[in-house]
A and B are shown apart, each in its own frame.
Chain A
Amino acid sequence: MIGFLLRRLLAMAATLLAVCALTFAVFYLLPSDPAAQFCGKDCSADRIQLVRQQLGLADPLVVQFWHYVTAVFAGRSYGTGPYAVQCHFPCFGYSFQSAQPVWDLMTDRLPTSVSLALGAAVLWLVLGVGAGVLSALRRGTWLDRTLMVGTIGIAALPVYFTAMILLYLVVTVAGILPYPRYIAFGEDPAGWVTNLILPWITLALLYAAIYARMTRNSVIETMAEPYVRTARAKGLREARVVGRHGLRPALTPVATMLGMDLGGLLAGALITESLFSLPGIGKLFADSLNKADQPVIMGITLLASFFIVSSNLVVDLVYAWIDPRARLS
């Protein structure tokens, strides 16, 4: 198990380094001049030159990349003399536009994104797995058909539409809920829920359909296994057959997918966060895009791939723990 873990960790580090190199190359090889970008719209030639020096853009690309990677672990300072800015560990670059290290900007926004992703995941698991199991156990009935048609329809709804309709009906017309804004869970748990429930629903509807269909297929397949027949033949109650022998193995693929979706969503809920103006990582990314704040864009890209790679690792580890055969491959 330790060997497996080490191998996976090494692979993860290699992948992250590759992602980092590619991201870096994209930003520094493509035509737009980072110095001019950092500097802003109207910026004198002298100032651009200064920024270029501060950023170390005169160095060869490989040196710049080395500086970037080492800074993540050791921190670095940009520029010299009175213009120097300090960027401590873990340094993912420095946003000159907001005069803050990228890491601080990102960690400020992280709680919002985590709340959004986790809450939505709970909701879509309940909805999706519930509908899927129900559909599988009542296979062929009107309930099964309604649920499966409904999920296709709901999955096709554009997220913009869901979000705006929810806002309009719940906030504007009915006035039951406030316009969503982020409240930390620690401050006011009830406010946290009431403010985030609409974004949760919006995201959950998008994913629940996929989970419902997957759960349905998986449960139907498992329930046809010989050991389920054995369990029935032993005289177990149907509820116990479904609960102990059917659902447990049927839900492993769901757990895998959950891990990957969560990893992608932590920094990937751009549109939902933008639509509800929630100050999460996705919103920060969209805003940085408008300002062409490249260090932030790059930092978030790396953070997002870190989430994806590490959630894949967690999924693999959980799998290896459940099923020793997975460790060999």
Chain B
Amino acid sequence: MTTPLAPAPAGGAGAPAAPEAAPAPASPRALALHRLRRQKSAKAGAAVIAFFVLAAVLAPVLTAISGTTPDAVDKKAVDPYLGGLPRGSLGGISPDHWLGVEPMLGRDIFARLLYGAQISLLVACASALLITLIGTVLGITAGYFGGRTDAVISRFMDIMMSFPSLIFMIALLSVARDVNRVVLLIGVMSLFSWPYIARVVRGQTLSLKHREYVEAARASGTTNRRILFGEILPNLTGTVIVYVTLAVPGLIGTEAALSFLGVGIRPPTPSWGQMISDAVLYYKVDPMFFVLPSACLFLVVLAFTLVGDALRDALDPKGGRT
């Protein structure tokens, strides 16, 4: 919250001294990158994302250093006479348990947060990739070919968007056979998220296909495939990147919500939503247990929103930069 979201004015007040600041960058991509670099909020967001990605990737190393594992039960760290609350202050922070332990079981919160970050980021990013793929392919097909193809795809999108997505996701997950929960979550979450991207891509494609350069390409006998991949797709990347980045916080939140409700990631695999759901019972007596996963969730969601916002300003100056 302390990171200023200054939509850096043209003068670049407060922009860090960039060596190449003086000459105007030539290509649109360089220009976008240049605009992006000037946004402090985007930098802060990117730093937070990098921090959590590193933490997730290095989870095995970091837990080896801290000497804990996410599943190890440590009954010595909790006080059976106090209803299983962690011994010591601040939720049982000690040299053994850097961020304290869970009540009752005494599992290490530091290790569980790290492995929770793995799950959270993996599920959100994999779903984001999947919806980008499905959404772009269907959106571009509907927009470019039009006619009956468009009618069928658009109708299908309408139906998908009429589903109460959270409720239906929960219903699906609750009856699904227990295979790999992570893969299942990615599939189910993507199933209900792609129409939003597809709709945007379709709209963009509709306007792009009547541009002069596309008509010129068609007039000169270029195949549909080459027009799609050579002329239209490159012009969609900006929009798609922005939408996907802004979809990630939503996906992270959805994963947490599903796990919170007990249909997402199943124990003993740690996930932030599940930790919060356990911690809600203890929020008065052991606030640390509740605050830590909530804070992680908050920071990651905030970071992706900030970066997505800055990306929109940089890549799509008309839309967001007002």
- Please report A residues at the B interface, Cβ cutoff 8 Å: 15-16, 18-19, 22-23, 26-27, 30-32, 139-140, 145, 148-150, 152-153, 155-158, 160-161, 164, 167-168, 172, 216-217, 220-221, 264, 267-268, 270-271, 274-275, 285-286, 289-290, 292, 294, 297-298, 300-301, 304-305, 307-309, 312
Contact = CB atoms under 8 A, between A and B. Distances in A.
Contact of A289 (B176, B260, B261): B261
Those 7 A-B pairs whose CB atoms lie nearest each other, nearest first = A304-B164, A156-B302, A153-B1, A161-B294, A156-B301, A149-B5, A30-B175
A18 B159 contact: yes
A270 B162 contact: no
Contacts of B206: none
B280 A301 contact: no
Nearest to A149: B5
A157 B298 contact: yes
Contacts, number: 124
A297 B261 contact: no
Contacts of B172: 26
Contacts of B228: none
A301 B171 contact: yes
A305 B159 CA distance: 10
B148 interface: no
Of B6, B167, B276, most buried by chain A (CB within 10 Å of CB) is: B167
Given A145-B5, A216-B322, A308-B162, A270 B167 contact: yes
A298 B322 CA distance: 44
A172 B284 contact: yes
Contacts of A139: 322
Given A19-B163, A145-B6, A298-B171, 17 more contacts: A15-B162, A23-B171, A30-B177, A31-B177, A32-B177, A140-B9, A149-B1, A149-B4, A152-B5, A160-B260, A160-B294, A164-B283, A217-B320, A267-B164, A271-B257, A289-B263, A305-B168
6 contacts: A26-B172, A30-B177, A160-B260, A172-B284, A271-B260, A307-B164
B36 interface: no
A168 B280 CA distance: 11
B261 A270 contact: yes
Contact of B5 (A148, A168, A298): A148
Interface in B1-33: 1, 3-7, 9
Interface of B: 1, 3-7, 9, 41, 158-159, 162-164, 166-168, 170-172, 174-177, 249, 253, 256-257, 260-263, 276, 280, 283-284, 290-291, 294, 297-298, 301-302, 305-306, 309, 320, 322
B262 A158 contact: no
Contacts of A270: 166-167, 170, 257, 261
Contacts of B170: 270, 285, 289
Nearest to A17: B159
B301 A309 contact: no
A290 B159 contact: no
Contact of B290 (A164, A220, A292): A164
B175 A26 contact: yes
Given A149-B1, A149-B4, A164-B283, A158 B167 contact: no
Given A152-B5, A152-B309, A32 B175 contact: yes
A69 B301 CA distance: 41
Contacts of A157: 298
A41 to B, nearest CB: 15
B265 to A, nearest CB: 16
A221 B167 contact: no
Contacts of A308: 162-164
B170 to A, nearest CB: 6
A69 B1 CA distance: 50
A220 B309 CA distance: 17
Given A157-B298, A158-B253, A275 B322 contact: no
Contacts of A31: 175, 177
A19 B158 CA distance: 11
Contacts of A275: 280
Nearest to B301: A156
A78 B7 CA distance: 63
Contact of B302 (A15, A152, A160, A307): A152
B261 A274 contact: yes
B4 A145 contact: yes
B168 A301 contact: yes
B116 to A, nearest CB: 13
B212 to A, nearest CB: 26
A268 B256 CA distance: 16
A271 B167 contact: no
B298 A152 contact: no
B305 A152 contact: yes
B171 A26 contact: yes
A289 B280 contact: no
Contacts of A18: 159
Contact of B284 (A27, A168, A285): A168
B103 to A, nearest CB: 16
A164 B298 CA distance: 14
A216 B283 CA distance: 36
A264 B5 contact: no
B100 to A, nearest CB: 18
A30 to B, nearest CB: 5
Contacts of B159: 15, 18-19
A149 B305 CA distance: 11
Contacts of B280: 160, 164, 275
A19 B261 CA distance: 23
Contacts of A158: 253, 256, 276, 294, 297-298, 301
A156 B175 contact: no
A225 B256 CA distance: 42
A27 B162 contact: no
A304 B167 contact: yes
B38 to A, nearest CB: 15
A155 B280 CA distance: 20
